[in-house]
Chain A
């Protein structure tokens, strides 16, 4: 069965979720990845949404925002933001899953300002829950398209902290857990390498060359010694994704 680079990205991301984990889920790509995981290898994972919802699996009816009625119908918990974000803050969330406008070498994510915050070139929407997810979840996963203007050496503004300046700077800032475990893109999977925690090439998707991934990255991309090819989607994974994407939005 054929598949698109974005489908590969979503399926690669879904494999980062382990069965039984508590997963904080953002909309769109993260939600699709959670849906594939829940329908394949992680049927006992539970997804939390920042508006106060928990679900065992994504809704079957189509919906546009996490607050739409289909996401609420059949929820495993419908509560408030204090209670749901509190699970993160209390260290009870294994994995956080966010998209990003701009990410840097140390996995810091900017969704606030391009340019000087006092007079920004572009005012982006802001954190939402992303800064909290990045600061307090057990492992952070970032999923986004791989473009040099989006994977940059250093973000203008750290909305959501990754490994900050690398090395021990994250724990020195007072963050005693978490950090970026992977950036999953339509070309590859990047993971923190060595004591610096700089994000390097860990796996390349089928049909993508190493040079393509290097060229599409805004920092000199180190390659892990054991970097190989991402296993292509299985029939079961593709079927799971297409069951939650009947319109083919991600194809």
Chain B
């Protein structure tokens, strides 16, 4: 079994390249890998294609920091604040530079990643018929359904990201891991991406993971690096471990309203912070107050062989 442990900084340096298409979290408002987002900004990656159904403020930060050339997504905003200011500035004024937007709905993006994960060239759907999303995303093609003559379908091409960065509650050193809660597109993203980086809130022994194989969403042979990163998802939540830091999102929203304010936020929370450990130190007591202290384990199930 391989040892894939790496720091967030080393994993980003080795596995995220300029021009990559990148899934930055696949779990809507939860489990967004902010620690890796900050590192990508520090290391100055450029020309990224940011893929996510919804990645809350993470996509907005990458856009504002100039890392993004294309957004492939269903929703880009700040769930606790409203519209995403950097996204708006890029789309409306070309600041800090123009971006291409590949509009999707949740279902079309889900189908694209599912196709990418399973070697399907495309998936025909009926959702998006009648939507102007077909006018702005020319890769979604209207065709006749060969099995129901006269009925149209939309062909959604497969999405095969270069990299998926995914927070998980626990992993062993090889990338055998557990993720639970709402699963959104975590499984599809991990199975579709060329390289997978895990931000593991806790490193555990392999025996913990294989004791519950149904909670494994993808096999370790899909994983390139395992980064021990307690609260690597802050300020987003992680089921059973961290609550959402809503005031943090609100503060980001307020300060990013103008470009100057965003850049000062970026200095304070990204550039003037050496790495993830220093970020956690800066959060101080605030982080502990977000820890889930309740305990609601499921009833055990039996996997005995005989």
A interface residue numbers (CB < 8 A to B): 49-53, 63-69, 71-73, 75, 78-82, 85, 88-89, 112-113, 117, 119-132, 135-136, 157-161, 164, 170, 173-176
Contact = CB atoms under 8 A, between A and B. Distances in A.
A85 B110 contact: yes
A127 B92 contact: no
B110 A175 contact: no
Given A68-B30, A132-B105, 19 more contacts: A50-B28, A52-B183, A63-B244, A64-B79, A65-B30, A65-B237, A67-B27, A67-B181, A68-B244, A78-B183, A89-B107, A112-B136, A127-B104, A128-B106, A158-B131, A173-B152, A174-B129, A174-B152, A176-B126
Interface stretch (B4-12, B80-88, B206-214, B263-271): B80-88
Given A80-B187, A158-B132, A135 B106 contact: no
B232 interface: no
Given A80-B188, A126-B103, A135 B182 contact: no
Interface string B101-145: 101111110110010000000000111111111011000000000
Given A67-B28, A80-B184, A124 B83 contact: yes
Contacts, number: 188
Given A132-B107, A158-B132, A174-B152, A127 B244 contact: no
Nearest to A135: B127
Contacts of A158: 130-132
A160 B186 CA distance: 25
Contacts of B131: 127, 131, 135, 158-161
Contact of A81 (B53, B75, B83, B244): B53
Sorted nearest first, the 6 A-B pairs with minimum C-beta distance are A161-B130, A125-B77, A123-B91, A67-B30, A65-B29, A128-B75
Contacts of B153: 174
A80 B183 CA distance: 5
Nearest to B87: A123
Contact of B106 (A72, A124, A129): A129
Interface residues of B, number: 60
Given A132-B107, A174-B129, A123 B244 contact: no
Contacts of A82: 110-111, 114, 185, 188
Contact of B132 (A71, A85, A125, A157): A157
A173 B128 CA distance: 10
B16 interface: no
Contact of B91 (A81, A120, A130): A120
A67 B83 contact: no
A69 B83 contact: no
Contacts of A71: 182
